[in-house]
Amino acid sequence: MSRVWNFSAGPAALPQSVLEQAQRELLDWNGSGASVMELSHRGKLFMGLAAQAEADIRELADIPADYAVLFLQGGATQHFAQIPMNLAGEGDTADYIVTGHWGEKAASEAAPYVKVKIAAHSRDEGYMRLPERASWQLDPRAAFVHYTPNETIHGVEFHAVPEVGDVPLVADMSSDIFSRPLDVRRFGLIYAGAQKNIGPSGLVVMIVRRDLLDRATRPMAKIFRYAEHAANDSMLNTPNTWGWYLAGLTFKWMKEQGGLAAMATHNDAKAAKLYEAIDSSNGYYRNPVALESRSRMNVPFTLHDSKLDPLFLQESEAAGLLALKGHKAVGGMRASLYNAVPLDAVKALVAFMQDFAARHG
């Protein structure tokens, strides 16, 4: 079997050593004689796994004790609605900073549960740049401020945490969590679908300030209330045990690589190499995003002639470069460079792009 270079936007590449360990342990995990997927989440073995995963994530991101770490389900999309259910009461407003497709969707899904105010957006620029901070219209009485630090489809990224005063800052970090050092104390709540930088799809990791769990919002079933999940160590119902296990292995892998500072160095090098290839191609390839807003995680690019797109995709796949087709909303190509994508993958992509341009110029 030959492994390909995986540039998928998600579900995305996992570290090869993590996959190999999971393969070795699939039939007999931790000497139990059974797969981790077959064991009770209430049993001593899995409870130990869960505790270790939380300890590792707390160490990685320097998460203080006054923040709860939750391992949830539903994907980030479910939490677009569930977050306002938990953080906003009847009649409350929330500010949304909309910088792409996922910010739009978060605001739309929140609307039944909170009065959504679009405090800033870059829709008029086609989401090709971030809105100037001075233009944001924030309400100091808002229940929270929501933003998407990295937009996977449009390829824009905040390179610093925005200052929003005393209002809790909520971040959908699905596509950039743990890609660089993280100051958790700047946030009220961080959530992320696991399938890009943490593990497989079906798991959501949430880091939430404990005082926000005490907000009196509205009547709801226990399963929707984050405070109930925190009180039950994320085991209010049967969790995604496989996803939790793989996330735990990935946390250990990140620690072995040198932690989040090492992840940042790794990711910066990959993005710089790919952007350099695009910018030095004399217009053969083009990235449409404003320089100061470019994402390190998701790099969209177009060819000088869109008629070559099908051929580029056909030849790149034959060369072992997987999932380079851009999202239908923007077209073209997209290379996702999450933590588990090695620099060698980017080197292979750049070499292919240069060869393709030479042959089809």
Give the residue extent of every domain in the chain. 16-257, 258-359
Q: How many CB atoms lie within 10 A of CB 162?
A: 17
DSSP assignment letter at 131: P
Contact 212, 189 (CB under 8 A): yes
Q: Which of 102, 244, 252, 270 is catalytic?
A: 102
Over residues 112-131, mean pLDDT: 96
Percent of the chain with pLDDT over 90: 97
Percent of the chain with pLDDT over 70: 100
When pLDDT is averaged across residues 104-122 and rounded to a whole number, the result is 97
Dist. CA 259–CA 86, nearest whole Å:
32
Buried b (16+ CB within 10 A) or exposed e, 109-145: bbeebbebeebbbbeeeebbbbbeeeebebeeebbbb
On whether the CB atoms of residues 85 and 113 are closer than 8 A, the answer is yes
pLDDT at 9 over 70: yes
Question: Is 253 a known active-site residue?
Answer: no
Amino acid type, 252: K
What's the rounded Cα separation, in Å, for the pair 92 and 98?
19
- Report d(CA 193, CA 31) in Å as an integer: 30
183 is known as an active-site residue? no
Catalytic site includes residue 139: no
Q: What is the DSSP letter of 284?
A: S
CB count in 10 Å sphere of residue 213:
19
Q: What fold is seen in the domain 16-257?
A: Aspartate Aminotransferase; domain 2 (3.40.640)
pLDDT band at 335 (very low <50, low <70, confident <90, very high): very high
Rounded mean pLDDT of the chain? 97
**Is the backbone of residue 55 left (phi > 0), alpha (psi -120 to 50) or beta?**
alpha
- Of 154, 62, 47, the residue nearest 105 (C-alpha): 154
Nearest-Å Rg of the Cα atoms of the chain is 21
Which of the residues 172, 252, 253, 270 is marked catalytic?
172
**In this predicted structure, what is the pLDDT of residue 217?**
86
pTM of the model: 0.97
Catalytic residue among 56, 92, 95, 196: 196
pLDDT at position 1, please? 53
Please calculate the CA angle 28-31-37 and round it to the nearest 5 degrees: 45
* Contact call for residues 144 and 94 (beta carbons, < 8 A): yes
- Token code pair at residue 6: 């995986």
Whether CATH 3.90.1150.10 fits 258-359? yes
E strands, the chain, in order: 5-6, 67-72, 93-98, 115-121, 145-147, 150-151, 156-157, 169-172, 189-193, 204-209, 285-286, 298-303, 321-322, 333-336
